[in-house]
Structure 1
Amino acid sequence: MSSSPGIEPRAHVDLVYISIESAIALASVVGNVLVVLVVCVNRTLRNSTFSFIVSLAVADIAVGLLVIPLAIVLTLGLPTHFYTCLFFSCLVLVITQSSILSLLAIAIDRYLRVKIPTRYAVIVTQGRVYVAVCLCWILSFLSGLVPMMGWNNLDVHGNLSSSSEIVCTFTGVISMNYMVYFNFFGWVVVPLTVMIALYLEIFRVIQLRLNRRAEATCDGDRYYRKELKLAKSLALVVFLFAVCWLPIHIVNCISFFCPKCWTPQFATNVGIFMSHVNSALNPMVYAFRIKHFRLTLIQITQRCMLCKPSAAASCSTSTPALQDKGTVSL
């Protein structure tokens, strides 16, 4: 009887944790599936920027379908083999890393769009965009699977046999050296710094172009104002990315650089929640601020959810065509 008071609160915490994570997973999957569906339906959205946004959406769908369920398993501490637990942990790293690299690719794409508008269509071809998307995923797998190559906590557990089981936790198999120096400093801080620098340069170039009113044509002025609106949306995404991802990495740094410092489990759980919430926020920030996406989403909702026939057979005929394939209207 004396153990019951300790077991019930733990079961309650696990239930609350699983419920919150499940809600985040559902929102992430539904929102990002809509992003992919809208881009597939509306041909006017099939440009370089949306190719990277679809890549980001696929990564965020994987967060809802794989990362969050795996995070729940890792948090519950179920008994399993070391390399099975390590592989699950690496999958979490691969998928989250692909999301970061997709955000970086979007920033580079918009930078080129503003910096070299006359040569953009020649340099950023659809074939090169597909290569860039594949490169993002290849780099994600290479960086995320590094612990499988030996940079892990196997030595901490001593001599484990192939049949030995451990309590599967993320920090139990993933080295904090890897998480802090390689993953955080190398694959979060560096991309985030590059993204901030790119968007600052984008704002500087756009403002410079808009200030040259005497030299600018009406079309040019309208072009840069559209780019400015989109750049603000993308900068908001970078800000939310930093807000959502830095807490869990800060917790990791505190645990690594100050082993004697006590970090409550609540802080760790909040950091994990926020990193997962980022995948659910991306569709709202990227997609719902774009006019063509909203119009197509309304059509899909009316046709599929409200059982109303579509007014047109194709979204490309019901929504105004973009004057420039690379321009995204807001």
Structure 2
Amino acid sequence: MAEWSWVVYTVVEVLISVACCLGNMLVVCAVCVGLRDSLREPTFCFLVSLAVADFLVGVAAVPLAVLLDGWVSLTPDLCLLLSCVVLVLTQASVLSLLAIAVDRYLRLHIPLRYKSLATQRRTWLAVSMCWILSCLLGFTPLFGWNNYSSLTSDSTNASSSSPISPPCTFLSVISLPFMVYYNFLGCVMAPLLVMTLLYIRIFWSLQGRLKDSCPQARASLLRERRLACSLALVLILFASCWIPLHLMNCLLLVHGPQAVPRGALYTGILLSHANSALNPVVYAYRIPKIQQAYSQIWRRFLLRLNCCHEDEQVPRSITSSLTNHTEKCGSGGKATP
């Protein structure tokens, strides 16, 4: 890739990283501070889990994507470990989305048993299980399915000629068959298909209930449908941002490195990272409770700014009044014989 293209890619990655961190930090603050009662609802607990995963994408995955592109020389073990971190965060997002879809399905189809099943303790246990399973699936290459042997032989040959380790890249340690057959088809596409079926079932059921509902129940069902539409939009954005990169990996596996231009590959990487910055925007425009929490946070922030500004003005006014009083006294003293 040309030098100017690399500069543009790096600048865009930095902007995406900042947007991921600020936007998802605001989501976590909105739910945990502005909507404390919402933490009793499983959906918002899973949304916090998704926001934390997206925040960590900005903190860890994006910087690692830039570094693990041949810019640093690391030992094969460390290179493989850092590459697996990116897989863990992606898997955490997928499983959080799956947990949200299952929660909305259960809420709609077993409303009488839902409250007894979806307790706060069980909800946070489910969140913990999502992250534990993400670590197990994401760190799978550490247990053998990787390019470690080829990289080790390369590093051995390089060390015989020079003491510097070979550059660390993602695909130098993570094998393409793993990315296609295990990560894409097993860990991404399978949950996406399950979620798609769940949302189709949810919308089908809501449509039927809206036709037969009374006016009092209709308002509640409309709110449920609006929230389901918002969460389905998050799912569609995830699929739209991540599937192009995985399809490129399929082409690389079948046809070799010449099948995908380098510029297209970097565009796919940027698109996958941008997904983590888009979710807070969707929450802000589509979920009323988070809209209210955002506005509360901004009002508190502006009030604090005004208070700080007023506190600064008070000492200035006191100082100016004392100065005027001193000048008057001084002028009066000179006029006295």
TM-score by length of 1: 0.86
1:210 aligns with 2:179: no
More moved, 152-161 vs 133-142: 152-161
State the structure with more CA Rg.
2
Structure 1 residue 119 corresponds to structure 2 residue 113: yes
* One-letter identity of the residue aligned with 1:229: R
- Within-5 A mapping of 1:104-183: 104-157=98-151, 159=153, 160=155, 165-183=165-183
TM norm structure 2: 0.84
What letter corresponds to residue 18 of structure 1 in structure 2? Answer: T
Q: How does 1:247-262 map to 2 (within 5 A)?
A: 247-259=244-256, 261-262=258-259
Verify the 8 A CA contact 1:245 1:274 in the aligned structure 2. Answer: yes
| Alignment partner of 1:197 is 2:197 | yes
Q: Distance in 2 between matches of 1:204 and 1:185?
A: 27
The question of whether the paired residues in 2 share the 8 Å contact of 1:302 and 1:308 is answered with no
Matching residue of 2:29: 37
Which residue of 2 is the match for residue 17 of structure 1? 9
Letter of the structure 2 residue corresponding to residue 113 of structure 1: R
Is this contact kept in 2: 1:14–1:76, CA < 8 A? no
Displacement of 1:181 after TM fit? 0.5
Contact in 2 for aligned 1:254/1:261 (Cα 8 Å): no
Corresponding residue pairs, total: 298
Q: Which residue of 2 aligns with 1:238?
A: 235
Matched residues in 2 for 1:231 and 1:62: separation? Answer: 25
Distance in 1 of aligned mates of 2:280 and 2:274: 11
Moved more, 253-262 or 167-176: 253-262
Residues 83 and 174 of structure 2 are in contact (CA less than 8 Å); yes or no, is this contact kept in structure 1? yes
Counterpart CA distance in 1 for 2:301 and 2:50 is 24
Any conservation in 1 of the 2:283–2:290 contact (CA below 8 Å)? Answer: no
Residue 278 of structure 1 aligns with an amino acid whose one-letter code is N
Q: Secondary structure at the match of 2:112?
A: coil
- 2:76–2:151 contact (8 Å) kept in structure 1: no
Query: How many percent identity over aligned positions?
Result: 46
Q: 1:49 aligns with which of 43, 68, 86?
A: 43
Cα RMSD after superposing both structures: 1.8
Contact 2:73 2:164 in 1 (8 A): no
Q: SS of the residue aligned with 2:166?
A: strand
Runs of 4 or more consecutive aligned structure 1 residues displaced over 6 Å after TM superposition: none
CA contact (8 A) 1:237 1:285 kept: yes
Deviation at 1:106, TM superposition (A): 0.6
Unaligned runs of 5+ in 2: 308-337
Structure 1 unmatched runs, 5+: 1-8, 310-330
**What amino acid is aligned across from residue 184 of structure 1 in structure 2?**
F
> 1:95, 1:140 within 8 Å by CA — same for their partners in 2?
yes
Question: C-alpha separation between the residues in 1 aligned to 2:271 and 2:144?
Answer: 29
Distance 2:87 2:294 in 1: 31
Counterpart of 2:248, as a letter, is V
Matched AA of 2:215: C
